[in-house]
Amino acid sequence: DVVMTQSPLSLPVTLGQPASISCTSSQSLLYSDGNTYLTWFQQRPGQSPRRLIYKVSNRDSGVPDRFSGSGSGTDFTLKISRVEAEDVGVYYCMQGIYWPRTFGQGTKLEIK
């Protein structure tokens, strides 16, 4: 199975400061159609996962533009330009081209 490795696993951040989460896959996520299928999810406490970003850098509708995704091949990053209180939760990356689909371990973002 493709292993998705996130770091850090815990991310204390001061309100208004930036945050960055890394995700590394054990195999390239570049698909035969030329797209790279790396997705980021946010899971707020007590809620279902919410897709934030798909195909590395495409924000879903309603996702604030302080969230951005980047990367290629096997190395990816989710950045929050200025953390707000509503950003508290666990963030997961997921690869979309190999079976089984696999998620990272999750990064827990909390306010310092």
Q: Which residues form the interface with other proteins (CB under 8 A)?
A: 31, 33, 35, 37, 39, 41, 43, 48-51, 54, 60, 92, 94, 96-97, 99-106
Residue 66 CB, shortest distance to other proteins, in Å, is 20
Q: Which is nearer to other proteins, 41 or 67 (CB)?
A: 41
Place of tokens 């204390």: 12
For residues 112 and 98, give the distance between their C-alpha atoms in angstroms, rounded to a whole number.
Answer: 37
Q: Which is nearer to other proteins, 41 or 76 (CB)?
A: 41
Q: Which is nearer to other proteins, 35 or 68 (CB)?
A: 35
Residue 1 CB, shortest distance to other proteins, in Å, is 8
Residue 97 CB, shortest distance to other proteins, in Å, is 5
The phi, psi pair for 53, rounded to 5°, reads -140, 135
For residues 37 and 53, give the distance between their C-alpha atoms in angstroms, rounded to a whole number.
Answer: 10
Q: Which is nearer to other proteins, 87 or 104 (CB)?
A: 104
3-state DSSP assignment of residue 73: coil
Provide the greatest CA pair distance for the chain: 42
For residues 3 and 93, give the distance between their C-alpha atoms in angstroms, rounded to a whole number.
Answer: 11
